Amino acid sequence: MANQKMLKPQDVMILLKVVTYEDKPFVMKDLAASLQLSPGEITFGLERCKNSGLIDANKQNVQKLSLFEFLVHGLKYVFPVQQGKKARGIPTAYSASPVKDQIVTGKDDLVIWPYSKGNSRGYSIVPLYKTIPEVVLKDKKLYELLAIVECLRLGRRREVEIAIEELKNGADLVYVHIEAPDECGHRNEPENKATTCCNFYFNSRITTRIYNLSRKHI
């Protein structure tokens, strides 16, 4: 029973796919089809993610800060990368966009997911889940997110730094530290802390609305 509650590698793929929906509602069967998983695998996967605090109680919205922290600080320990020999496949990690566009590497450094229909040859790493190489060919955004994740699993310092920035910018996996309430707490000023929290809530609702409206025109 305990093992059924523990995260599995495909759960990361599921969460990242949900992130690509940008907080829009989704249907379980469509999510399953897009990842080549059964509806049952999606149901159990989302339940595990909920139990881990990585998605909300309704299993529709990813807890982005929690996911960001897990990907950056825990993923490579929970699901360590398995490296193999040279093979044919699909470029990933720092050999795929968006990270590859920001570094210089040679042909001998190419990293791939093994895939018999792939057009590239390089050092292979086992994908988080077996369907990934085929799934990403039809899903550019998910491809980029999973390639970023592989950079985090491989752990090369420069590529990890770029991957973290890409997660913050491209996937909106970012958080804001609000200093005013924090400082009031340090000074033991509960009334001022409550006031600043209320002011932030009011202002954040206005700025969020402006942000959402602006995105429609980009």
pLDDT at 207: 45
Q: Read off the pLDDT of residues 15-64 as tens digits, 9 standing for 90 and up.
A: 999 999 998 999 999 999 999 999 999 999 999 999 999 999 999 999 99
Three-state DSSP class for residue 67: helix
Alpha helices in the chain (DSSP H): 2-5, 9-20, 28-35, 39-51, 64-73, 75-78, 132-135, 140-154, 157-170, 179-186, 190-215
pLDDT of residue 79: 97
pLDDT value of residue 38? 97
For residue 170, how many other CB atoms are within 10 A of its CB? 14
Cα 147 to Cα 132: distance, rounded to the nearest angstrom: 10
pTM of the model: 0.77
Q: Quick one: which of 13, 100, 99 has its CA closest to 48?
A: 13
Residues in the chain: 218
Task: Please report, rounded to a whole number, the percentage of residues in the chain having pLDDT higher than 70.
Answer: 76
**Does residue 122 contact residue 130 with C-beta atoms inside 8 Å?**
no
User: Kindly report the CA angle at 179 between 175 and 184, in degrees rounded to 5?
Assistant: 140
Residues of the chain scoring pLDDT < 70: 1-4, 170-218
Strands 111-114 and 83-91: antiparallel
**One-letter identity of residue 83:** Q
- pLDDT reported for residue 216: 43
Residue-by-residue DSSP string for 92-146: -GGGSTTGGGGS---GGG-EEEE-TT-SEEEEEE--SSTTHHHHGGG-HHHHHHH
